Amino acid sequence: MIVTGNTTVTPSMKKAFLQAVSTALLSLFLAAAVLGTANASSRIKDIVQFEGVRENMLVGYGLVVGLNGTGDTLVDGQFTKQSLKAMLNRLGVKPTDAGLDSKNVAAVMVTAVLPPFARQGSRIDVTVSALGDAKSLLGGTLLVTPVLGADGEVYAVAQGQLAVGGFAASGAAETVVKGVPTSARIASGAIVEREVGFEMANMESVTLSLRNPDFTTARRIAQAINAFLGTAAARPSDPTTVHVEVPDSYRGNVVNLLTDIEQLRVEPDQLARVIIDEQSGIIVMGENVRISTIAIAQGSLTIRITETEQVSQPGPFANVGATTTVPRTEIEVTEGEERRLGVVNAGVTIQELVNGLNSLGIGPRDMITILQAVKAAGALQAEIVVM
């Protein structure tokens, strides 16, 4: 028994206190483990797309005016000249061929993306790109241009002042170009005139499409949704698609269902894959890449030839001889004798694999060849994708 002041602490009280502290510490450890798992997972919103909630590409042809002599050359039969003449005719002006001699006009292609559920009167950004031989679109203004969808219907109308991120300046002996002066953007430069019809409120089922198709990830998504809804409403039909039946509690309010689903967290599975870009020497390896026990040796033969010209001239006051140049050649051969055989054990992690290859003193170009040789030997347990 322990007595402190007026309070008596019995062994049973001490044991209960220690148990309470142990329980609190265990709860903290479990919370930290759950938090770490949550941080490693991803929201369903970030790895899937909801069928029907999609963008649409728009394209149009128009004219840019107001350029400072950097527009298209209006030669006979050129489409810019024909477009300018047709536009002036619609405005009641009858131009002659001699009067259409200006470098302040350029034919352009206008592209835009119509976001899902865009309503009439809302604005979207457009990109303007030169179609002819214009030097720059700086200072230009896009005239009214209908922007069409894949079905040929007009979904938006674009017009406005161009914002060019680059410029070009030239003189008699030098030209300076920054960025791409023949491409520009107009922020909120198009007004939506036609909507893409899609009604979500009365849908009886929802389809989720994975951005990276995978059987395991599709199953995990379905399990997470079913655990949240408390019923077997979700089922994967293939590595890309997960079908969700709208429960009775969400009838007529599919937006709430999608909002709740997209905030659920799952851990996406990852294929063992090695991505190689031979042009730039980039190698990307997933965390599940494994290799069997293998020995690797890398050697290189380097021949360096240096040509140096030396001047040979006769001595002072010599009656014969002339000054001339004499070539001198130096050849250096390196066979890489210091490179040794290295052993990489089976089942190593991606970090150990990279450390092992780096210890051999090889660069990305040689590493690409080694990885392809390891794959050919059957020791690389991953798929190699060459870009």
pTM assigned to the model: 0.65
CB-based contacts of 24-30 (< 8 A; 24+ apart in sequence): none
140-169 confidence digits (pLDDT tens): 999 999 999 999 999 999 999 999 987 777
In whole angstroms, what is the distance from residue 289 CA to residue 350 CA? Answer: 6
All residues at 6 or more sequence positions from 342 whose CB lies less than 8 Å from its CB, including other chains: 295, 296, 297, 356, 359, 360
pLDDT band at 360 (very low <50, low <70, confident <90, very high): low
Calpha distance 257→126 (Å, rounded): 33
Q: Which residue has the higher pLDDT, 36 or 257?
A: 257
The whole-number pLDDT of residue 183 equals 92
CA distances (Å), origin 88, targets 84, 159, 271:
6, 17, 59
pLDDT at 346 over 90: no
State the average pLDDT over residues 122-149: 94
CB-based burial of residue 33 (10 Å sphere; 0-12 exposed, 13-18 middle, 19+ buried)?
exposed
Measured CA to CA, the distance from residue 76 to residue 128 in angstroms comes to: 25
Domain extent listing, the chain: 56-192, 205-266, 274-301+338-386
Query: What is d(CA 58, CA 99) in angstroms, rounded to the nearest whole number?
Result: 34
Residue 75 near residue 97, CB atoms below 8 Å? no
Cα dihedral across residues 142, 110, 55, 214: positive or negative: negative
Confidence of residue 123 (pLDDT cuts 50, 70, 90): very high
Q: What is the mean pLDDT of the chain?
A: 80
- Tens digits of residue pLDDT in 83-117: 888 888 888 888 877 767 788 999 999 999 999 88
Q: Is the pLDDT of residue 341 over 60?
A: no
- Structure-block tokens of residue 104: 């302040």
Confidence of residue 34 (pLDDT cuts 50, 70, 90): very low
Look at residue 383 in the predicted model and tell me its pLDDT. Answer: 83
**In the prediction, which pLDDT does 4 show?**
45
Dihedral sign from CA coordinates of 255, 259, 264, 266: positive
**Does the pLDDT at position 209 exceed 90?**
yes
Confidence of residue 33 (pLDDT cuts 50, 70, 90): very low
Q: What pLDDT shows up at residue 192?
A: 96
Contacts of 344 (CB under 8 A, 6+ apart): 291, 293, 294, 295, 296, 352, 353, 356, 357
pLDDT at site 302 = 54
At residue 366 the predicted structure's pLDDT band, cuts being 50, 70 and 90, is confident
